[in-house]
Every structure is written in C-alpha cells, then in structure tokens.
C-alpha cells in the first residue's frame, strides 16, 4: 500500500513540474501514435491545439512581452527573430543577434519564413496572420492573460514551451512571492484609506476597464478603478465621466503624455477633480505596465507605492 502511495505522489509531482496551467501535455495512449516525433500537443490561450517541438531551438517572438519572458528565463539563445518593439532587456536591441520581423501586429511573414523557426509565440490574436503562418507549416501558439496570476502562470507556460522548466519554476515562484508580499500590505488597509483611481491609456480619453490586467493590478494595489464597471479591456469614456467619478489618483502612460493637447489638470472642469487638486497624477512606464511579462510585478509595486507610500 505504501509503495502505491509513493508511486501516485511521484506521478503527481512529475505532472506538476512538467505542466503550468494551460501549457499542458494533452496526449492519450491512443493519440501518441499520431504525434510527430519529438513533438507534443499544446493547448494555447485560444484553446487551439498545436503540435510543438519538445525542445525548440529556433524561436520567433512576436511580442515584446514574450521576448522579455524568454530573456528572464535565460533562453534568449533560442531566439532567432523578435519584433521592432522588443527593447528590453538592452541585449534585445542587438540586431546582429536577433532578426527584426516587423511590428507585433504587422509582422513580415517572408522574413519569418526565411528564419525557418520551429516555434513561433505571439500574444496577439490575429487569425489572418496565424492562418498564413500555419499554411507554411510553422507552429505558432497564442499566449495572453487577463490577470496578474495568469501573467505569472504564462511565464511557466513559456518555460515549458522553450524547455526551461526548472528556470520557470524558480521565476514563477519568485514573482508569486513578490506579488503576495504587496497584496499582504494592501490587505491591511481599512475602508477609509481606499483610493479611487483610473488608468488612462490615451487622451481620447481611453481607460482600462474590467477585462484588462491593469484593472486587476489596480485591485491588487488596494485601490478602486472608477471604470471597473466597464466590461471591456480598454474603452473610450467622456471627460464628464471622469469628472463625475472624481478620482483621487490618475495614472497616465508616460509615452503618450508629450502628445497630449494639454496637461490633465488644465482640462475643462478638471479643477474640481481630487487628483488634480492634490497633484496626484502619475506617469507610468508604458513598457513595464502594459506588457504582460515578468516586469508586471515591478509595475504593481510601483503603482502601490504611488497610491500608498506609507505602506513601504
């Protein structure tokens, strides 16, 4: 009996190490005979079943967040192609080591084909591009997230995909620990301390809604998103909605602020908004906040420090 228990526990541990969430091995005894040699069936974020190599050697990243994750895992030597926007870490800017494939939403498919990758990873759902890539016999998977937990989980998923499982276990554990150290702090806030805020993506004004991981970040940072009732990822709202919402704090994307027609506090009617009255308008690093990669926990800490500096 004890021997059987040990065997079962061993299998559980083995499966736990070799899979992270949606990045699971979905084969059965009957399926195995149909799996290409040295490949397995992977289910991506769109529930697509894709045969991927067990140990890919030539990877194309079609998103800056994917590139950052692969570097964080120490698997950058497997990269052969990255987007024009992949700028972190600084080593990614060395285009003598990594071929530029164009934009993450407008990739150059000829360049990708010439690189002859055995795995392509994207975070953007573009059916037309994916269909064209698959038509050339290349394996492409889609990885995206709606919450910070899913972003961390996807680090493990990508670790599995690039065959750096142990590094993935370490990195996801570290990210989870750091996230929980922050949420433990914000959990100590009482209701009189809770701050209302919103995250402005662009001056239209476009804001983060309930379907975005930025909204999840706001909640984990211990605040209330005044646009958390919008059941979309990002949405354009009116200035009147912002004024009526009277946020205590406003977060802006630093990249676009220089292109704003006027500072936030000079907008008509904003002189009655608490965030403007108390000068609590913060510019955030777009790359850190809006890329679903390992730096997202740095963004969470940064946001929490803006909101509640007394917690640190």
What count of other Cβ atoms lies within 10 Å of the Cβ of residue 90?
A: 7
Domains 19-144 and 190-311 in one fold: yes
**Coil vs helix vs strand at 66:** helix
What ranges in the chain are assigned the alpha helix state H?
2-18, 64-72, 109-115, 127-135, 148-161, 165-186, 213-220, 239-245, 274-277, 286-289, 296-307
In the predicted model, is pLDDT for residue 239 greater than 70?
A: yes
Fold observed for domain 190-311: Rossmann fold (3.40.50)
Q: Sketch the domain layout of the chain as residue ranges.
A: 19-144, 190-311
Contact 81, 87 (CB under 8 A): no
As a CATH number, domain 19-144 is 3.40.50.1980
What DSSP state is assigned to residue 246? -
Contact 183, 114 (CB under 8 A): no
CA 131 to chain centre: 23
pLDDT digits (tens, 9 = 90+) for 161-217: 999 999 999 999 999 999 999 999 999 999 999 999 999 999 999 999 999 999 999
Which percentage of the chain shows pLDDT scores above 90? 86
Residue position matching structure tokens 């010439």: 114
């Amino acid at each position: 009996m004890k021997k059987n228990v040990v065997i079962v526990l061993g299998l559980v541990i083995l499966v736990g190490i070799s899979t992270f969430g949606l990045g699971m091995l979905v084969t059965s005894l009957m399926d195995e005979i149909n799996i290409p040699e040295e490949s397995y069936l992977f289910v991506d974020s769109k529930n697509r079943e894709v045969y991927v190599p067990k140990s890919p050697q030539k990877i194309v990243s079609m998103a800056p967040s994917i590139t950052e994750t692969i570097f964080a895992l120490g698997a950058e030597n497997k990269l052969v192609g990255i987007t024009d926007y992949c700028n972190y870490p600084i080593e990614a800017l060395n285009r003598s080591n990594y071929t530029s494939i164009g934009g993450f939403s407008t990739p150059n498919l000829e360049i990708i084909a010439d690189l002859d990758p055995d795995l392509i990873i994207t975070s953007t759902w573009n059916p037309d591009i994916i269909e064209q890539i698959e038509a050339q016999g290349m394996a492409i998977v889609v990885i995206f997230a709606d919450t910070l937990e899913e972003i961390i989980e996807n680090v493990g998923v990508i670790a599995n995909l690039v065959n750096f499982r142990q590094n993935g276990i370490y990195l996801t554990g570290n990210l989870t620990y750091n996230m929980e150290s922050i949420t433990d702090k914000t959990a100590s806030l009482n209701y009189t301390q809770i701050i209302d805020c919103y995250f402005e993506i662009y001056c239209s004004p476009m804001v983060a809604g309930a379907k975005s991981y930025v909204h999840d970040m706001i909640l984990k940072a211990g605040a209330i998103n005044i646009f958390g009732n919008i059941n979309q990822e990002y949405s354009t709202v009116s200035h009147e909605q912002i004024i009526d919402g009277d946020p205590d704090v406003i977060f802006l994307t630093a990249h676009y602020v220089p292109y704003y027609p006027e500072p936030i506090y000079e907008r008509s009617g904003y002189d009655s908004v608490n965030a403007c009255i108390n000068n609590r308008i913060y510019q955030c690093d777009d790359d850190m906040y809006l890329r679903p990669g390992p730096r997202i926990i740095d963004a969470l800490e940064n946001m929490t420090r803006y909101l509640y500096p007394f917690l640190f």
